[in-house]
Structures are given as C-alpha cells and as structure tokens.
Structure 1
Amino acid sequence: MSETVVSVRDVNIYQGSNLVLQDVNFNINRGEFVYLVGKTGTGKSSLLKTLYGELPLREGTANVAGFDLKGMNWKKVPFLRRNLGVVFQDFQLLTDRNVHQNLRFVLKATGWTDEKLIEEKINDVLDKVGLKSKGFKMPFEMSGGEQQRVDIARALLNSPKLILADEPTGNLDPETSDEIMQLLFQICKDYGTAIVMATHDFIVINRYPSRMLKTERNRVLDSAVPA
C-alpha cells in the first residue's frame, strides 16, 4: 500500500470571493511525479498556493504531508512548509551570499542549530544535485541551470515528502531543461519524494510522460481517472 502524501477531497478554492476551482478530488502518493497543467488563469497557481498554505482552505478537506489544511492557521503554516520543498521558476536565491550561505540560511530559519549537522546536510543536498564543488559560488557566477539546481537543493534540505515545482524549466534552454527533468525524476525514484510540477512546457511533458492534473473550466481533470 502506497503512502498518501496529498489527499484532496471535495475542495472548492477561492481567490477572495471568486470561486476558482470547484469539487477538486485527487490523491498523490509517495514517489509519484505529477504534472499540473492548464491555461493561464485557470487556477494552477491557486491550487499550488492552497497546497503550501498561502491560500486558506475554506470548503472541503485536504491533507498535505500529514497536515490538515482545513485546520491550518498562520502559526502552523511554517511547520507545513518545513515538510515541503518549493522550487521556483526565478530561483529566488539570496544574491548577496554564496550557495553554501543560501542553504545555511534556510536551515537556520527552519530551526537547525547543530553546526556539524548543518554542514553535513548542505554537502549532502549539493551532492544530490551535482554541485558538490560549487558551494563557494555566488548566484550571479552560475548559469541558469546551476541556479535551478541550487533551488532544488534548497527544496531538499528538510527531506520533504513533497516538492511543489512552479515552472522550474520556464527560464531554461532545452538541454538544461532536460538535465533538470532528469534530476527531478531521479529524486522521485531515489528518495520517494512526491513532486507536483506546474508547467506550460509540452515538449518536456512529451519527453518525460507522467500523470497529469489539468485545470480547466473551474475543474481539475486527472489523467489517472478515466473520463
């Protein structure tokens, strides 16, 4: 029996008073890779924001990495996010410090205090993303692909059950996109991390086919569920 990392039941998602998605139902299991697709404005971002606690859940039930989103208040959101990794299209690295310091900042901010363990963890995640010797580099000294690898390393710091990746190949050339996709699928396989990746890039989807959630006409269509 697979471990369920995300369970969404009868969920309606709002932006203010506007109903964006209705009657949303899906499960995502450990080690599963799922694309989130749909035209701009159809609710992809709202769904991701609900999953990482930025948009409060008003109607329905959802459990993410063991956290009940319905009962989530602002005090609990940081604990939810420690169990998630979020990968951004524009990297969002701190530009005034090197790679090692970027990762150290996140660990300190999420409660790590043991210096030896901090060093071990940073070396571990940089090794996983193929950047073991690049910890001293500043973000501006790195290519877009390398910066995205740092972003993925940052998402792995707290050994999350789930990574939410928002257009992670959006600013990358095709060859670099390939490298990032291979890395993400490897993380799924080797560490059992579930990944939800929002994308518009159908070249990537065709090259790396997997289950798909599609936002369309206020619904979420699941390729794993027969129409």
Structure 2
Amino acid sequence: MTDITLYDYWRSSAAYRVRIALGLCGLEYKSVPVNLLEGEHKSESYRALNPQGFVPTIEIDSLLFTQSLAIIEYLAELHPDAGLLPGDALDRQRVRALSYAIAMDIHPVCNLSVAKFAKSIAAKPDDMPVAWFHKFIGEGLAAYEGMLAQQSPSPFSLGDAPTMADICLMPQLYNARRWEVDLSNMPRILTVEENCNRHTAFQAAHPDQHKPQG
C-alpha cells in the first residue's frame, strides 16, 4: 500500500490542486499542515523538505516531490485510469494549455508573497489588494473562458470527466469568489464549476474541509 504524506496549507491553491488529484486517483494520504501565515514554510526544517519553501510538498513511499503540476502529472502517469491527463496527445496539449493558463499566468501574480510585496510598494496600499486581484484573476479567467469557447461544449474543461485543467480551475475560482471577482460573463466556466462541485473528490478537497478548527 502506498504511503503518502501531504504537507499542506488549507487555502493554498497549489495544495488544493494536489488534494483534488489525490481524490480523483482514489489515494488516501496523511495531511501535515504548514501554516503560511505563521511562516512555517520558511523554517529550516521545512526547507529541508522543500528548498523553495512552498506548499505543497508530498512524500510518496519516502520520496519527496514538489511543484503541484509536476506532482499531478506524476500521479497521472502512475494512475492513467484516473483521467488527470487524456490519452490522446492533442487533448493532453489542450488540458496542459488550460492548466498552465491558470497555474503559470494567474496564480504567480496572485501568490500571497507577491501580493504582499505589491501592497508594500503601492501608492495607495489600502486600495491595492482588491484592485490587484480583480484585474489579474478577472482577466485571466476571461481568457480561460475564451479558450473554452474555442472547444465544443462539455461538462468539464475538456470532455465528460475532470482533468488537470479542472484541478487548476477550481482553486482559482475559490480565490475569485473570495475576492468577489465578477464571473457573470463566464458561462462555460460556471458550468464546469457546477459539475465539479458535484464530484466527491472536489468536495473532499475544498478548503472548508481542511480549515483549522478553533
């Protein structure tokens, strides 16, 4: 039986992605919380696991893995029946393009450390966070909607079952709703969100299920 430990932060988009992927693969894991707000990710002990000081880090049978998309693609190779990546090369490219549009274009500029630094140098720091997130999340998701519009309608981002694209989309939508980004002109995204919300793997991975008690 595979022994899996996930070093996790409940609100981390990247960790949220990996929780969904583990659920879609039907894998059980032990969760070890890493409190980003208290700086636990910067500790010497955590950096011994992940030199970048990011979450998630995952340990699978005593082997350490970092970077959420690399972890998800590794899981996809180990568990091809989970459908994280399609079997067809063209569909895999499309799923990767959608995934990267979020994980490499939206997420980095909306990362907690980036947003904090931007606020520290902003002319009007009190106005900065909402405007920052509205711009980058709003524009990024509008582009994602446009990418979906280039494809045939489907229940998920590509096809009839969730893939890595949906794994990336749902945490970003969680952040979008947290910052009250207007999604009213994104019907394809809202359809995908509704279908993902019905899926047990997405339900179990939701931050509300991993929020610290007390």
Determine which structure has the larger helix proportion and give its number.
Answer: 2
Larger RCO, structures 1/2 (Cα 8 Å, 6+ apart):
1
Q: Which has the higher strand share?
A: 1
TM-score, scaled to structure 1: 0.28
TM score, norm. by length of structure 2: 0.29
